[in-house]
Amino acid sequence: MHRRFTSFLILVLPMAALLNGCASERPILYNITPQFTVHDPQFAQTMGHLLGPQLVGENTVTTLTNGDQIFPAMLDAIHSAQKTITFETYIYWSGKMGQAFADALAERARAGVKVYALIDWVGGDRIDPKYVKEMTDAGCQVKRYHPFHILLPATWFDLDHRTHRKILVIDGTIGFTGGVGIADDWMGNAQDSKHWRDTHYRIEGPVVSQLQAVFDDNWMQTTGEVLQGNDFFPELHAKGKQWAQVFKSSFTGGSENMQLLFLLSIAAAGSDIRIENAYFVPDELTIRSLTAAAKRGVHVTIIVPGAHIDEKEVRQASRAHWGKLLKAGIEIWEYHPTMFHCKLLIVDDLWVSIGSSNMDNRSFRVNDEANINVLDADFAAEQIREFEADKKRSRQVTYDQWARRPLGEKIGDHFFTAFGWEL
């Protein structure tokens, strides 16, 4: 979330958190004993049957690095649409990109394409109303996810429950997901502090139908309309050799499954775990899982944002947890050139999880999230090259450096941890 909402949320979030807390169950303390690695066929069986849906083969997931690659690919795909466009995002702000996407979606709607856009009410609060009017006038269906109305108490319960998913599906055949929002901050190539570092992914093959189903889930929750038929779920043919699954979580339907996905992946590591995460605020269960992996000889490396971060409080809450990780031999690197917004997990050079989910309590227990998991050595190798390139632009934090940080920082770190900072 961004600072424009801070004063408002200070007033209403305690009420929302209380209401959500009354409605939610106690967090599950998973107990996972490592039994196999990601190379064992049982791992794919477990991820398909225990979490679901099943991994499907014959896909191609293409890596798009930073706005210079991401936005042209997404806009080109939108312009190619012939039947349907389904689009869900957390961030949609005014600016060049906001206008470009509004223009592209409106143009396709005028051409007869059925366009469905779902924009989070909080994340999309900076959208220029003229964009929404342009799209709706052209025939797009544009809905806001969980809008808040002070005079409608029923909306208070959902105030803290946001969709953090980033989904674009074209004609049911081409999909996109990752970490990027629709805002000018993501433009460029992470060349300076004003242009964020992020990764998005273009998806083709049978797994696209799973991504479409994730969009449909929130569209049904919002409108009651069921999107079905060949325009949304056409027969999908082989587009590559990668095995993949799209995994979703939601506050109303198994939000903690996202944490279970990460914990199962960590438990199945035999040699290496690489993590990139924009808002890395691990709870005690995640810390125990990572330190246990390190103690059994797994090399764990984590890249997080440095001084350039849009929410300083999140960085402070994150740093409060680093002591146990660093003592266990886990490497932590801070990315310094600009805001680091990537969300990536690579296990044993084979298993990759990418998408919208951070490693914090908001992603694990509150937000609607969606990740695509890929089981493929070549794809993992490509992500490792991206990871190593990011590490070259980062600085390692040692335990001694962490322990010697100023007293004021230590107090702030623990304050935001105790406060349960989730913004």
Residues annotated catalytic, as ranges: 164, 166, 171, 341, 343, 348
Count of other CB atoms within 10 angstroms of residue 254: 12
| CA atoms 191, 195, 199, 203: torsion sign | negative
Alpha-carbon distances of 320 from 323, 325, 412, 415, rounded to whole Å: 7, 11, 9, 9
What amino acid occupies position 26?
A: R
| CA atoms 289, 292, 298, 301: torsion sign | positive
Alpha-carbon distances of 139 from 94, 109, 114, 222, 262, rounded to whole Å: 20, 5, 8, 18, 40
Do β-strands 343-347 and 331-335 pair in parallel, antiparallel, or remain unpaired?
unpaired
DSSP one-letter code for 372: E
3-state secondary structure 289-306: HHHHHHHCCCEEEEEEEC
Tokens of 233: 């779920």
> To which H or E segment does residue 61 belong?
strand 56-65
Could you give phi then psi for residue 15, rounded to 5 degrees? -65, -45
Q: Which residue has the tokens 């964020």?
A: 196
Alpha helices in 168-256 (DSSP H): 208-223
Alpha-carbon distances of 20 from 37, 94, 155, 203, rounded to whole Å: 37, 31, 12, 35
Q: Which residue has the tokens 């312009």?
A: 79
243, 126 Cβ separation under 8 angstroms: no
Q: How far separated are the first and last CA of the chain, in Å rounded?
A: 5
